[in-house]
Amino acid sequence: MTSTFIGNIEARLDEKGRMFIPAVYRKILATEESQRIVMRRDTENECLVIYPERVWNQRVEQLSEELDEWNPDDQMLLMQFVADAEYIEPDSQGRILLQKRNLQQIGATSDLLIVGMMNRFAIWDKQTFLNKRIDQREFAKTLRERMTKK
Amino acid sequence: MTSTFIGNIEARLDEKGRMFIPAVYRKILATEESQRIVMRRDTENECLVIYPERVWNQRVEQLSEELDEWNPDDQMLLMQFVADAEYIEPDSQGRILLQKRNLQQIGATSDLLIVGMMNRFAIWDKQTFLNKRIDQREFAKTLRERMTKK
DNA sequence: CTGATATTCCCCACATTTCCCCACAAAATA
DNA sequence: TATTTTGTGGGGAAATGTGGGGAATATCAG
């Protein structure tokens, strides 16, 4: 059983638009069969999601199975999902270069936050994430209510 | 049948922010298949919870099953649960390094208390725990009422 | 086609953090 | 009292995260 991406790690965007992938995450990526990773803006939130290739493939497959191959609307959905994704490759220091349009999509300043999501992880502008966060007490309450057996 | 985490043990935080895991607990951890452990602030109280990886995985799975994969609110809950956790690794002496933000979350002074919770255990600031404790008589009464068959 | 400009990416340098290791104190056990 | 186990405290090497120079490559206007 291998580790998963958990936790949140502060990261800085340098002048050249580069961001390091935390060593903890790099180690997990290194255990993957394929070293390639895929980045896509999240469908729900203002953040970028990074998938190990295997996980990306699973996700696309899941969508393909669920959506109708001969329904044009469904196919448009699938196409758009794929069209906004791209392979990215870390440099020799383990940093990735973020494009201006990607940065724009998440309203990036130079303070970013890398957030684990088990089989993948997300890049947020730090402040955006903090604003989005449910406050601790509220979080506990919602979770409690949601999980308590009726 | 393996032992569980019970009891409460005083622990000190050293200059570098390290805290030893009591030998009793280390022995229990050693019986786990995976040596990895996960730490997360507790959702309900001002303390840090330490899970053997197996127990952590169970918990996440439990949440995943209960929550809806395509409901954004549910996903936010799950993400926040995962985002506040981290793998921690004891050093060769069996100590763990606590980050400043973790210490802050529990209002840690240098006197801590390690409290068993069966399949996991918690780290409290000693004074915080003592304040939180239900007094003995009250405790007996509540327990009696709660357990008495109606 | 050519030169100017921007982009990408390799490399080196350095500050900071983490963690390995040793030494020893304190407590438990024999 | 001897001996093992457990807990405490640093020194310093190694890993990690930053930053930037500059070569190679791509982009583009004239």
Q: For residue A20, give Cα distances in angstroms to A47, A97, A114, A123, B18.
A: 16, 9, 10, 11, 27
| Subunit contact B77:A146, Cβ cutoff 8 A | yes
Residues 6+ apart with CB under 8 A from A105: A41, A46, A48
Protein chain B, residues 14-33, with a C-beta closer than 7 Å to any atom of nucleic acid strand C:
16
Residue ranges of domains in chain A: 8-147
CA–CA distance, B124 with B43 (Å, rounded to integer): 13
Three-state SS at B64? helix
CA–CA distance, B29 with B31 (Å, rounded to integer): 5
**Out of A48-52, A67-71, B106-110, which region has the weakest mean confidence (pLDDT)?**
B106-110
Instruction: Establish whether the CB of A20 is closer than 7 Å to any nucleic acid atom in strand D.
Output: yes
User: Model confidence over A4-46: pLDDT tens digits?
Assistant: 999 999 999 988 899 999 999 999 999 998 888 999 999 999 9
User: Model confidence over A72-122: pLDDT tens digits?
Assistant: 999 999 999 999 999 998 988 889 999 888 888 898 888 999 999 999 999
Instruction: Establish whether the CB of A95 is closer than 7 Å to any nucleic acid atom in strand D.
Output: yes
CATH topology of domain B8-147: Chemotaxis protein chec (3.40.1550)
Phi, psi of A58 (to 5 degrees): -55, -45
Phi, psi of B116 (to 5 degrees): -70, 140
> Looking at this predicted complex, what is its ipTM?
0.89
CA–CA distance, A35 with A39 (Å, rounded to integer): 13
- Separation of CA B147 from chain center: 26
More confident residue, B82 or B93: B82
pLDDT at B124 over 80: yes
